[in-house]
Amino acid sequence: MPNVFDFTFGNETDSLKECIARSPILWDELEKQPSKFRVLTGERTTGALHIGHYFGSLKSRVTLQNWGVDMFLVLADYQAITDRTSTEKLKESINEIILDYLAVGLQPEKTTIFCHSMIPSLNQLMLPFLSVVTMSELQRNPTVKEEIALSGTRSVSGLMMTYPVHQAADILFCKGNVVPGGKDQLPHIELTRLIARRINKLYFNGENFFPEPELLLSAPMLLGIDGRKMGKSLHNAIYIKMTADETAQLIKRAKTDSEINISYDPNNRPEVANLLRLYSLCTGVSPETIANQIGAKGASALKKNLTEVVNEYFRPMRERRKEYVGDKAFIWKILKDGNSKANEIANKTLNELSKAMHMQYY
Ligand code: TRP
């Protein structure tokens, strides 16, 4: 997993440092003893996935799957409405994401794909979980704070404040012990650990009914072609599902700088460095070597070659995606099967917990 250890964060907190140090060891354990782990991760259902998602997380999920790690992927449709209220597009987003999963090589026979809105017992776990979390713990979550700031809204919904608790339910309903994610997920994982610990102490005499999951840190995401964060709303993302032509047009528009000679200088030339990193991810050649090869040929040569390697890299995935794109019945069958497996597990977990809480009255 070479690109997974390539961190360039700066000002890390202690717990993030710990996490950075731990992640390569965890990778090693996952490869050697896959049966010790249950991995739970997923995404908000806000639309199709881009190549930043691919290199940041989908690629490593496929690796874990193929090592035989038991993996659950949550399509977090309730989390998609923390900062917006419209729900009409959720269904199409779920369809797109499952197509992307299939394209990149995730296999529903091996990996359970479900959406949390259709797992009632998972959602009910949120109530006992909320009972062990304080308001100030919710209010100081840095990821939530940042999302509120970014959204620019003055009226923050209750779901926005509590979704990390809901996320704990996503993870703990199936007793996930490893959660792949970016560093922004660390506060949520810490909260999940806290909830697990408190519930275990309160209702299970400190026995490990719920595991305390660990964050398996993913590499920082690629930037968009304009040098900003690659994002769905910024029109700066190369999507897995794009055609070769769409990809070419987007890369043609990519921001570079006024210096003609191509060099790899992440601090002073972030946009060029980002293109070189993408090139490197698609070819396995280091960004420095690529920069040397292109050198005086400049940005247009870089973009032309980059377009070719990106299109070549994603061609088989895009072809696979096309095979499934018209088959809605197949996509919904995948979700239905995943949901039914998740429901079975969630019912069992909730049943055991409510028994321990003396809440089965007859
Ligand atoms: N918070 C994650 C994101 O914004 C999505 C998510 C929801 C998630 N539930 C999860 C991630 C459980 C890991 C585990 O992308």
- DSSP output for 220-240: PPPBPTTSSB--GGGT---BT
Region 48-71 average pLDDT: 97
CA 333 to chain CA centroid, Å, is 23
A 10 A CB-CB count for 25 gives: 9
Spatial separation of the C-alpha atoms in residues 132 and 104, rounded to whole Å:
39
Contact between 98 and 331 (Cβ < 8 Å): yes
Q: What is the pTM of this model?
A: 0.95
Q: What percent of the chain has pLDDT over 90?
A: 90
Tell whether the model's pLDDT for residue 270 goes beyond 60: yes
The reported pLDDT for the residue numbered 61 is: 98
Q: Kindly give the distance from the C-alpha atom of residue 307 to the centroid of ligand 1, in angstroms, as a whole number.
A: 31
The reported pLDDT for the residue numbered 174 is: 98
Q: Kindly give the distance from the C-alpha atom of residue 361 to the centroid of ligand 1, in angstroms, as a whole number.
A: 34
pLDDT in tens, 107-145: 999 999 999 999 999 999 999 999 999 999 999 999 999
The reported pLDDT for the residue numbered 10 is: 57
Tell whether the model's pLDDT for residue 266 goes beyond 60: yes
The reported pLDDT for the residue numbered 3 is: 44
The reported pLDDT for the residue numbered 11 is: 62
Q: What percent of the chain has pLDDT over 70?
A: 97
Contact between 190 and 142 (Cβ < 8 Å): no
Q: Is 289 helix (H, G, I), strand (E, B) or coil?
A: helix
The DSSP symbol for 262 reads -
Average per-residue pLDDT for the chain: 94
pLDDT in tens, 193-235: 999 999 999 999 999 999 999 999 998 888 999 989 888 778 8
Region 172-201 average pLDDT: 97
Residue nearest ligand 1's atom 2 by CA: 43
The reported pLDDT for the residue numbered 24 is: 94
Give the pLDDT band of residue 329 (cuts 50, 70, 90).
very high
Give the pLDDT band of residue 1 (cuts 50, 70, 90).
very low
CB-based pocket (< 6 A), ligand 1: 40-44, 74, 76, 79, 167, 170-171, 179, 181, 185
Q: CA angle 43-318-250, nearest 5°?
A: 80
Tell whether the model's pLDDT for residue 268 goes beyond 70: yes
The residue assigned the tokens 């995943």 is 338
Region 357-362 average pLDDT: 97
List the one residue out of 72, 159, 62, 77 whose CA is nearest residue 117.
77
Q: Kindly give the distance from the C-alpha atom of residue 215 to the centroid of ligand 1, in angstroms, as a whole number.
A: 11
Contacts of 355 (CB under 8 A, 6+ apart): none
Q: Kindly give the distance from the C-alpha atom of residue 40 to the centroid of ligand 1, in angstroms, as a whole number.
A: 9
Pocket test for ligand 1, best of 38, 45, 58, 74 (most atoms within 8 A of CB): 74
Specify the ligand 1 atom closest to the Cα of 185: 1
The residue assigned the tokens 């570079």 is 256
CA distances from 112 to 4, 17, 40, 275, 338 (A): 23, 31, 9, 34, 5
